[in-house]
Amino acid sequence: MKKILIYAVFILLITLVQTNLIDAIAIFGVKPNLFIVFIIVVGLTNGSETGAVVGFVTGLVMDSYSPTPVGVYALIGLLLGVLSGFSNRNFFRDNYILTMAFAFIYTVVFETVAYFALISGLFWADGVGSVFVNLLYAYRNFILIEAIYSIPFALIIHLLSFKFLVGLDKEGRRLKYRRGY
């Protein structure tokens, strides 16, 4: 129960920071997406099941303040949580360099999937060529900049996640032996 409360507080704080403070640090109009970074870090540190649940809930929060149809970001967040959780099995969870690398890679994946999901209605009207030209434009002017900009925030969220979430059992009590985290 305590762990769920901690996740809820994290999502609330990230929502407040993302919607109120991140605009002040935009570079070329591009802002880091803390929601994506949080989903990635939770998946990497806690596995695919927890990553999927947190990704879905965080995606619903993203859906609530964006003009997209409800459920688009929830589904993409769920998939991102599962994908980053699968990486949990093969790598050390406390490796910060891998966390930053995965933050870059999965931010690109998330934004690419979101791009195709959100323009799918325009896909058939404009033809395949224009979608890919627009995708290249999006990569150059938005997606890659956001992915690079998300890296330092991934490190911060990873450190906070380790401090508050890793090493807790299902009831939220600290484990005596944190073998394998």
pLDDT at 167: 60
Task: Give residue 174's pLDDT.
Answer: 57
For residue 125, the model assigns a pLDDT of 44
pLDDT at 181: 45
| Whole-number pLDDT of residue 133 | 61
Q: Which residues of the chain have pLDDT under 70?
A: 1, 91-93, 120-133, 166-181
pLDDT by residue (tens digit) across 41-92?
999 888 899 999 999 999 999 999 888 778 889 999 999 999 998 877 776 6
**Residue 117 in tokens:** 């999901």
Query: Could you tell me the residue range of the domain that residue 18 belongs to?
Result: 2-164
**CA separation, residue 31 to residues 20, 58, 88 (Å):** 12, 17, 27
Q: In a 10 Å sphere around its CB, with 0-12 CB exposed, 13-18 middle and 19+ buried, how is residue 9 labelled?
A: exposed
In a domain, 179, yes or no: no
Collapsing DSSP states into helix, strand and coil, what is residue 168? Answer: strand
Question: Helix axis angle, 34-46 relative to 144-164, nearest 10°?
Answer: 50
174, β-bridge pairs: 168
Question: 78 lies in a domain?
Answer: yes
- How far apart CA 140 and CA 124 sit, in angstroms, is 23
Per-residue confidence (pLDDT) for residue 139, from 0 to 100? 86
| Predicted local distance difference test score (pLDDT) of residue 147 | 93
**C-alpha neighbours within 13 Å on the C-beta side of residue 29:** 3
For residue 9, the model assigns a pLDDT of 92
- Residue 53 forms part of a structural domain: yes
Half-sphere exposure of 5 (CA within 13 A, CB side): 6
Q: How many domains would you assign to the chain?
A: 1
| 28 inside domain | yes
Report yes or no: 33 and 146 within 8 Å, Cβ to Cβ: yes
Contact present, 149 and 37 (Cβ < 8 Å): no
Whether residue 114 lies inside any domain: the answer is yes
Residue 128 within a domain? yes
> Do the domain assignments include residue 127?
yes
Which CATH number belongs to the domain containing residue 136 in this structure?
Answer: 1.10.1760
Which pTM was predicted? 0.81
**Amino acid 140: pLDDT:** 86
180 in a domain, yes or no? no
pLDDT score recorded for residue 106: 92
pLDDT for 105 equals: 93
